[in-house]
Amino acid sequence: MAYILVVDDESKIRHILKIMLELKGHQVDQAGDGAEALKMLEERAYDLVISDIRMPGIDGLALLDSIRGMDIPCPVIFITAYATVDSAVDAMKRGAVDYITKPFEEERIILTVEKAVGISRILAENQMLRDELERQVGDMELVCVSEAMKKLLAMAGKVARKPDTIVLITGESGAGKEVIARYIHRNSPRSDRRFVAVNCAAITSSLVESVLFGHEKGAFTGADRQKKGFFEYADGGTLFLDEVGDLPLEAQAKLLRVLQDKVVQRVGGNRCIDVDLRVICATNRELLPLVNEGRFRADLYYRINVFPLHVPPLRERKEAVIPLAEHFIRKFRDRHQDGPLITQGAKRILMAHSWPGNVRELANTMERAVILAGKVPVTAEDLSFLGNASPVREVEGSWKLPEGGISLEGLERDLIRQALEMTAGNQSAAARLLGLSRSKFRTRVKQLENYR
């Protein structure tokens, strides 16, 4: 069975096609002109459009151009009484899959429709493959080595399976809130639909309602046409509202109604439009103090705080710094390169940095370091631009042996102590920093204790 939209200004033709196709098990909707068809295409996904070419207003060719412009993967068949070679060639060049003339035979219609439905299914399968590839590539951005992040992803995976549950993600700027939101979407039953991200802080207060909920033509100065809001655009998928704490109070009231009733009302309109989507909110601000100050609605806070997730800052998961840095080095290099990615001196600088900008700052830092390093491993000198980093010179050459020689055990003990200090006492991270397995690290610590 396929969902088919028949577009023709002659009601008799529409009725005949509807009977033919429904007898074959298809579900058929009708539109009397191109404008009506576009509205229906915005509200529902069709497997096939069968359209007349010559119609008043928006004709068939203009309708085809609009479908392509809206990026709708829907084949179009033209059917017309005005068959000319020029119009057929023009239609096929614009992307039509076939062309039938009136009067038409039922067998020809059925065969053409079956072929076009097959094309539609291929397009749908290709989209699924692209989405799967996107999910696999997207998961590569999640370098998860810290216990805190493992627990966070486990919680995110659980809520991902509940496609309607509202999620509130908190954390500092750059910590990875949107990465977690996309992870939830990719692992949810809504993963085959859109993920729409909106930065609420970047929308002016005068336009926020229009951007989120849409507007009707003439609703305000400059509204020269009807426009969907992000809620309608994300219908069926996931809407990510970043920095939700920056929404003005009036928009908060409308948002609360949408979350409760699952309907939106465009600015300047009085029609309620049903929406089916998951909403994920995020903020880098504490919302409860805003509630106490009257700057954030209490009822909205409790409505969005259904399933809270907190992304810890990078300084609280220092064991992730080096694996993340190596991940970004691989990402920003022009091509694969064997050998070490980063020197020990560079690792010490990365571990000593406080990372106030979190993972985003680390990504930017490694991109710059990769450019400076070229094809060689990233060194301490390549990271000397970090604010709190004291340059560590990594040069070969002769050095003077201090009087009395060097205590190997003392030197090793100092290195282990420094590694533990850099990793806030985390032995696994300290072992990784020194290039040792955790078991070898613990064994060496015990041996050195015996030397005291």
Q: What is the pLDDT of residue 284?
A: 93
pLDDT at 228 over 90: no
With cut-offs at 50, 70 and 90, classify the pLDDT of residue 277.
very high
Give the tokens for residue 356. 């106030």
Percent of the chain with pLDDT over 90: 36
pTM over 0.85: no
pLDDT at 400 over 70: no
With cut-offs at 50, 70 and 90, classify the pLDDT of residue 47.
confident
Task: Tell me the pLDDT tens digit for each residue of 353-370.
Answer: 999 999 999 999 999 999
Tokens 């997730």: give the residue: 309
Phi, psi (rounded to 5 degrees) for 308: -80, 140
Q: What is the pLDDT of residue 66?
A: 86
Q: What is the pLDDT of residue 85?
A: 54
Rounded Cα distance, 26 and 8, in Å = 18
pLDDT at 145 over 50: yes
Same domain? 9 vs 99: yes
Q: What is the pLDDT of residue 349?
A: 92
User: The domain that contains 189 carries what CATH number?
Assistant: 3.40.50.300
User: The domain that contains 7 carries what CATH number?
Assistant: 3.40.50.2300
Same domain? 27 vs 156: no
Q: What is the pLDDT of residue 452?
A: 46
The rounded mean pLDDT for the chain is 82
The helix or strand, by DSSP H or E, that contains position 426, with its residue range, turns out to be none
With cut-offs at 50, 70 and 90, classify the pLDDT of residue 136.
very low
Beta-bridge partners for 265: 272
The mean pLDDT of 365-376, rounded to a whole number, is 88
pLDDT at 387 over 90: no
Same domain? 242 vs 280: yes
With cut-offs at 50, 70 and 90, classify the pLDDT of residue 293.
very high
Same domain? 393 vs 412: no
pLDDT at 258 over 60: yes
Flag whether 76 is in a domain: yes
With cut-offs at 50, 70 and 90, classify the pLDDT of residue 308.
very high
CA angle 271, 276, 281 (to 5 degrees): 105
Same domain? 238 vs 363: no
Indicate if the alpha-carbon torsion angle 32, 33, 35, 40 is positive or negative: positive
Q: How many structural domains comprise the chain?
A: 4
Same domain? 356 vs 415: no
Q: What is the pLDDT of residue 182?
A: 92
pLDDT at 43 over 90: no
Q: What is the pLDDT of residue 312?
A: 92
Query: What single-letter DSSP state applies at residue 100?
Result: E
pLDDT at 138 over 50: no
Same domain? 271 vs 377: no
Same domain? 175 vs 280: yes
Flag whether 317 is in a domain: no
Rounded Cα distance, 148 and 239, in Å = 26
Q: What is the pLDDT of residue 86?
A: 65
pLDDT at 260 over 50: yes
pLDDT at 8 over 50: yes
Flag whether 449 is in a domain: yes
Identity of residue 402: P
Rounded Cα distance, 297 and 387, in Å = 39
Same domain? 97 vs 245: no
> Which of these three, 312, 331, 356, is where a domain ends?
312
Q: What is the pLDDT of residue 403?
A: 46
pLDDT at 451 over 60: no
Residue 248 belongs to domain spanning: 147-312
Identity of residue 150: K
> Which of these three, 127, 161, 177, is where a domain ends?
127
Check residues 30 and 96 and name the one with the higher pLDDT. 30
Flag whether 445 is in a domain: yes
Percent of the chain with pLDDT over 70: 83
Return the top range by mean pLDDT from 41-50, 78-87, 248-257.
248-257
Same domain? 410 vs 387: no
Helix residue spans in 270-343 (DSSP H): 287-292, 298-304, 321-332
The mean pLDDT of 207-229, rounded to a whole number, is 84
Check residues 84 and 129 and name the one with the higher pLDDT. 84
Same domain? 268 vs 169: yes
Same domain? 159 vs 308: yes
- Other Cβ atoms within 10 Å of 105 Cβ, number: 9
> Which of these three, 93, 127, 161, is where a domain ends?
127
pLDDT at 397 over 50: no
